Structure 1
Amino acid sequence: MLIALGFTWLCMRIEVNPLTRTGQVSGLAGLQFRFLLVFVALALVWWGISKRLSRPLALRLACCSLAGLATGLYAGGIAVALTGTSWPLNGPYGDSGQLQNWVGEIQAGRPISGVYPPLFPHALTYWTELFNPGQPHAALKTFGLVLLALTGPAAYLAWRLVLPPLWSLGIGVVSVFPIVHAAKPYVDIVLIVLIPVLAKLMSTLRRAGELKTRPAVLLGLSYGLGLALLFLWYSGWFVWSAPGALAAFVLMLINLGKEGGPAALRRGALLLGVTGAVFLALTGPYLGRMLAGADTPDGYFYFDTDIDPAYFLMWQGDQPNNLAKVSWPLPGELGGVGVFALLLVAGVAVALWLGPRLPVVQVAGLCMLGAFGLRYWFASHMERDKLVQLYPRTSAELLYCSIVLCGMAGYLLTQKMTGRPAYAIIGGRKGPAPALRASGAVLCALAFFFSMAGSATVDRFMPFNGSWGQLAWNSHTTVQPNGVCPRFAPEGKCVPPPPPPPPAAEEG
C-alpha cells in the first residue's frame, strides 16, 4: 500500500499541460521514467533480501510491492490527466455529480437513493469531512485516486487467499487494467475481490468435515462479514454472480455429503448458515430496498446495446467516440473471432480440463455461465420490453472470469509440467518458492506488462473532447466551485456547472 500511495504522490509532482498532446506525451513519459527507477530500486532490494535473508519472504514482498507500483502508475496517470483542476473525472456530471450531491444530502441528514449501495457514499462523506471540508468534489478526486492506487494491493491480497504470490500477482493485478474504470474504481474492485473470496469459502466448505463447531462458526462470521461489506460497497456484481455462485455451492454441498457423509454435510451447512445469517443481518435493510426496486425500468440504450451480445472483450459503454462510425467489434480472423478471444477460449478449455474440481475454476466457470444466462435473457427481451436492465455490465464479469480461467490454465499447466500438486485444489496458497532466476524473470515480465498496460490505459483518459477522454475534458472545461476556471482550460474559457438538484424529500 505504501508503494501504491507513494508512487501516486510521486507522479502528482509531474507538471505538464494535459490538454495538449505534447503535454500528454511528456506526462506519460514522466510516468514511465519514474516507474522504471522505482522498479529497479525494488528489484535490487528484492535481490538483496533473497540472497541474505529469505527467498520466500523476498518473493512475497516483491509481488506485493509490484502490485502497488502497477496501480500506483494507473492512479498517478489519472492525477496527471487532472493536473490543474480540482474536479474529479467527469467534473460535476453523471455519476460523479450524483455522488457529490449525495454527500451534501447525507451531511444535511436527508435520505439518498435507497437502492444504491450505501457504504461508498457514506465513506466519501466521512472523507470529505476529514480531509476536504465543504469540498466534496475535491474529496471525490483524492479519494478516487487513493482507491485506484490501492486496487492492485487489494486484488493481490484477495488472490493470496487461494494462490501463491506470483500467480496472485499475475491473475489479480493483470485483470485490473481491462476491468477497473478510473472514474468509478470503487465499483470494479468488488468484482475482482469477490471471485477469490467465494473460491476461498468454497475451499473451506470442502474441508468442513475436518472443522469443529467453534472454528466453523468463527469462519462463518468472518465470511459473512466480508461478503456483507463487499455487498454494501457495491452490490451489482452479486446480482450477476448469484446464479453461478448458488449453483457452485449447491454442487459443493452435494459432493460434501457424498464424500464426507452426514457429519461433513452438517458442518458445511453450519458454516454456510452462519455466513448467510451474518450477511443477512448486516445487509438486510438495504437488501430489502434493493429487491423492492428490482423492477425499476432501465431504458437507457447506448453504444454497447447495439453490438453483438456475444461480444464482451472490450466494453466501450456510452463513450465510443469514432468507434460508433466503424464496424464494431472488429471482425476476427476465424469465423469473426479474433486471436484474443481464441486465447481465452483455449484458456477456459485447459482450466476445465485440468482443474474441474478446483474451487477457483468452479466459481469462475459457473459465474461466467450464469452471467451469460442473465445477459442473454435481458437482451432477448430488449425489443419487446424496450428495456436494457443494465445487461451490458455483464461484459466486465465475463471478461474477468475468462481471464481468471486463463490464469488458472497457466497455473495448472505449470504444476503439471513440474510434477507438483495444484495447491489450490484444497484451498492452499503456499507452494515451493520458484528459483531466483525464474521468479525474477516472471517479475520483470509482469513489470513490463504493467508499464505498457498502465500507460495505454491512462492515455485513454487523457483530456479529449470525445471517448473516455471526455471525462477529463469535462473536468478541465467546467467552472470550479470557487468560481475560477481550471488552470489549463482552453483559452481560459469554461462553462458553468449544472445547477444542483433539489433536496430529496424527507422519508416518512
Structure 2
Amino acid sequence: MSVQADGPRIRLPRRLCLAGVELGAGAVVALGFTKLCMSIDVNPMQRVGQVSGLAGLQLRFIAVFVVLALLWWAFSRRLSRPLALRLACCSLAGLATGLYAGGVAVTLRGTALPPNGVLGDAGQLQLWVADIQNGRPISGVYPPLFPHLLTWWTEIFHPDRPGAALKVLGLVLIALTGPAAYLAWRMLLPPLWSLGIGVVSVFPIVHAAKPYVDIVLIMLIPVLAKFMAGLLGARAMSTRTLLLTGAGYGLGLSALFLWYSGWFVWSAPGALAALALLLFRLGKEGRTPLLRAAAMLGTTAAVFLAVSGSYLVRLLGMAGTPDTYMYFDTFVDPAYFAMWQGDQPGQFATAVWPLPGELGGVGVFALLLVAGLGVALWLGPTLPVVQVAGLCMLGAFGLRYWFASHMERDQLVQLYPRTSAELLYCAIVLCGMAGYLVSQKLTGRSPLALIGGRKGPVPALRTSGAVLCALAFFFSMAGSATVDRFMPRQDGSWGTLTWVAQTTEQPGGGCPRYAPEGKCTPLREAWARR
C-alpha cells in the first residue's frame, strides 16, 4: 500500500480521539449546566417568577463562561493552543444549549410531565412506550429509533412513568444539540466557524417540545456535504478505505433517517440534484474518478438499505397519506420563512403576520440572508457544502410551492409549512459560509481546502477570544429569548405547552406544585381530550 494511502489511516485514531475529547467536553458542560439550572427556585406560573428565573439563568451563564474563558486562556498559554481552542468552542456549544435546556427545566419546575403533558405528540409517544413494552406494534410510518430509545429510557430511569422519562430525555437532547451540531460542522470547518454556523442555527430551529426532530436537520446538511466531499476525494483512497468510508456514511445516514425521516423527504430533491451535479463533474474528469465515486456511493446505498430499507419501504408505501390539518402557518405568505409560529401563534393570530419589511415587504434579517446566499454562491459555487445547502433550499421551495399551490383544489396541506425550518437553516448556513469564504479571501487562503479537509492556522489569542466572547453574548440573549417563549402562559402561544404540563394531574396523583390555586385537569380527562 502506498504511503499516501497509509497516511489517513495513521491519523484516523488521533482524529477520532480529538473528536471524542471535544464531544466529551461539550457534553459535560451541557449536561452540567442544565443540572445547575435546576437549582433555580422560582414559580414559573407567575411572570415575576419567570423574570427571576431568566435572570438566574443569565447569572449562571456568565459565571460558567468566565471560568471556561480562564481555563481556555491558561491552556492556550501553557499547553496546546489548537486543542485549547477546540475545547473552548465545544464547551461553549454545550453551554449555549445547556442554557436552553436549563431554561426549559425552569418552565417545567414542579411538574413531572413534558411540554404539552399527555396531549399531541407527547401523549402519542407515551402511548407507544406502553405498546412497545407490551409487544404491540406502533406506527409503521413514524421513525422507530426515538420511540424505542424512550422506551428503554423509561424502563431504566422512570419505570411506569413515560411522561417523566420524556421530560428528562427531552432536556438531555436539547442540551446535547449544541455539541452535536458543532461536531457535525467540524467535519467541514475550523472550530470557531463550526461554533458560529452550527450552534447559532440551533435557537431558531430547535423546538423544546420536539428536540429530537430538529437535531436531524441540523446534522443532515453538514453530513451530506461531507459525503459529497468524500465522493470527490474517493480517487485518492485505497479500495479498503473507500469501502469502509462508504459503509460509515451508510450507517450514519441510516441512524439519522431512523431517528427522524421527515428532513430526508424535504431534502431529497436538492440532495439528488447535488449528487447528479457531482457525478457529472467527476465524469468530465475521467472514468477512474467516476467509477471510484460510484463504488463508494454504492457501498453507502447498500449499507443504508440493509439497515433501514424495511422502514423506507413502509414510508414510501404511505407516501400518499392525506394531511388535511390547516392551521395558522398554512394561511401565511408561502414565500415567508424567516420565523414561523406553527399552530400556536399566540398574539400573532390577530396581528399582521408576517410583519411588513422595509424593502418591498422584505425585512432586514431576510435581506441579510439574501446577501449571504449571493456571496456564498459567488465565492464558493464548487464547494459541496454550498451546493448541498443551496440545492436543498431550492428543492424545499419547490415542494413547498407545489403543495401550497394545490392546497385549495385538494384541501390538503401535506406538512408543507415544515419546510420553513429547512429553508431558514439552509439560508443561515449559506450566510455563515459567505462570512467564512470572505475571511478566506481576505487572508489569501483557498476555500478549496474544505474539500481535502485541511484546516487553516489557529487564530491569534486575541482574535479567538473576541469571537468567543461575541458568540457567548449572542447565545445568552438568544437562549433567554427562546426560553421566554416557552414560559407558561395561557394565550395560545408556545408557552401553552408548558402551561398544559403545569396544569395536568401528575401520573402518581396530585397536581403540580405550582398549579393555579392547586387545581389541575384530571389525568383521565386529559387523556380523553387527545
**Pairwise same-fold verdict (TM > 0.5):** yes
* Contact map agreement 2:118 2:527 (CA 8 A) in 1: no
- Partner residue of 1:172 out of 193, 198, 202: 198
Deviations 1:154-207 (A, max 9, x none): 000000001000000000000000000010000000000000000000111111
Counterpart residue identity of residue 426, structure 1? I
Deviations 1:131-157 (A, max 9, x none): 111110000000000011000000000
* Contact map agreement 1:164 1:429 (CA 8 A) in 2: no
Residue 505 of structure 1 corresponds to: none
* Contact map agreement 2:273 2:391 (CA 8 A) in 1: yes
Counterpart residue identity of residue 460, structure 2? A
Query: Matches of 2:381 and 2:448 in 1, distance apart?
Result: 14
Query: Matches of 2:521 and 2:100 in 1, distance apart?
Result: 28
Runs of 4+ in 1 over 6 A off after TM superposition: none
Alignment: residue pair count: 501
With normalisation by structure 1, the TM-score equals 0.97
Counterpart residue identity of residue 271, structure 1? M
Residue 388 of structure 1 corresponds to: 413
Q: What does 1:237-316 correspond to in 2, within 5 Å? A: 237-259=263-285, 261-316=286-341
Counterpart residue identity of residue 195, structure 2? L
CA positional deviation for 1:497: 2.8
> Would the alpha carbon gap of residues 501 and 278 (structure 1) be closer, same or farther in structure 2, given more than 3 Å must change?
farther
- Partner residue of 1:77 out of 92, 103, 119: 103
Residue 31 of structure 2 corresponds to: 5
- Partner residue of 1:232 out of 258, 269, 278: 258
Unaligned runs of 5+ in 1: 503-508
* Contact map agreement 1:163 1:424 (CA 8 A) in 2: no
Query: Matches of 2:360 and 2:451 in 1, distance apart?
Result: 39
Counterpart residue identity of residue 95, structure 1? D
Residue 25 of structure 1 corresponds to: 51
Aligned-partner SS, 2:523? coil
Residue 44 of structure 1 corresponds to: 70
* Contact map agreement 1:88 1:140 (CA 8 A) in 2: yes
> Would the alpha carbon gap of residues 139 and 205 (structure 1) be closer, same or farther in structure 2, given more than 3 Å must change?
same
CA positional deviation for 1:424: 4.8
Residue 446 of structure 2 corresponds to: 421
> Would the alpha carbon gap of residues 79 and 501 (structure 1) be closer, same or farther in structure 2, given more than 3 Å must change?
closer
CA positional deviation for 1:430: 1.8
Identity score, percent: 75
* Contact map agreement 1:242 1:367 (CA 8 A) in 2: yes
Residue 492 of structure 1 corresponds to: 518
Residue 100 of structure 1 corresponds to: 126
Residue 405 of structure 1 corresponds to: 430
Query: Matches of 2:233 and 2:138 in 1, distance apart?
Result: 43
* Contact map agreement 2:383 2:448 (CA 8 A) in 1: no
Query: Matches of 1:430 and 1:179 in 2, distance apart?
Result: 28
Answering whether residue 230 of structure 2 is matched by residue 204 of structure 1, we say yes
Query: Matches of 1:124 and 1:170 in 2, distance apart?
Result: 31
Aligned-partner SS, 1:88? coil
Counterpart residue identity of residue 276, structure 1? A
Moved more, 265-274 or 250-259: 250-259
Aligned-partner SS, 2:360? coil
Residue 162 of structure 1 corresponds to: 188
Counterpart residue identity of residue 187, structure 2? L
Query: Matches of 1:390 and 1:23 in 2, distance apart?
Result: 37
Residue 320 of structure 1 corresponds to: 345
Query: Matches of 1:426 and 1:130 in 2, distance apart?
Result: 43
Residue 3 of structure 2 corresponds to: none
* Contact map agreement 1:423 1:430 (CA 8 A) in 2: no
Counterpart residue identity of residue 440, structure 2? Q
Q: What does 1:123-202 correspond to in 2, within 5 Å? A: 123-202=149-228
> Would the alpha carbon gap of residues 381 and 84 (structure 1) be closer, same or farther in structure 2, given more than 3 Å must change?
same
Query: Matches of 1:158 and 1:333 in 2, distance apart?
Result: 36
* Contact map agreement 1:423 1:429 (CA 8 A) in 2: no
- Partner residue of 1:111 out of 137, 153, 158: 137
Query: Matches of 2:255 and 2:288 in 1, distance apart?
Result: 31
- Partner residue of 2:469 out of 438, 444, 451: 444
CA positional deviation for 1:258: 1.0
Counterpart residue identity of residue 46, structure 2? T
Query: Matches of 1:285 and 1:387 in 2, distance apart?
Result: 27
Aligned-partner SS, 1:289? helix
* Contact map agreement 1:161 1:429 (CA 8 A) in 2: no
Query: Matches of 1:174 and 1:458 in 2, distance apart?
Result: 15
Query: Matches of 2:301 and 2:526 in 1, distance apart?
Result: 40
Query: Matches of 1:429 and 1:420 in 2, distance apart?
Result: 11
CA positional deviation for 1:409: 0.1
Q: What does 1:320-399 correspond to in 2, within 5 Å? A: 320-399=345-424
CA positional deviation for 1:346: 0.2
CA positional deviation for 1:481: 1.0
* Contact map agreement 1:356 1:362 (CA 8 A) in 2: yes
Answering whether residue 116 of structure 2 is matched by residue 90 of structure 1, we say yes
Answering whether residue 474 of structure 2 is matched by residue 474 of structure 1, we say no
Answering whether residue 59 of structure 2 is matched by residue 59 of structure 1, we say no
Query: Matches of 1:95 and 1:287 in 2, distance apart?
Result: 22
Query: Matches of 2:414 and 2:174 in 1, distance apart?
Result: 27
Residue 506 of structure 1 corresponds to: none
CA positional deviation for 1:212: 2.0
Q: CA RMSD in A?
A: 1.1
CA positional deviation for 1:423: 5.0
Query: Matches of 2:509 and 2:32 in 1, distance apart?
Result: 31
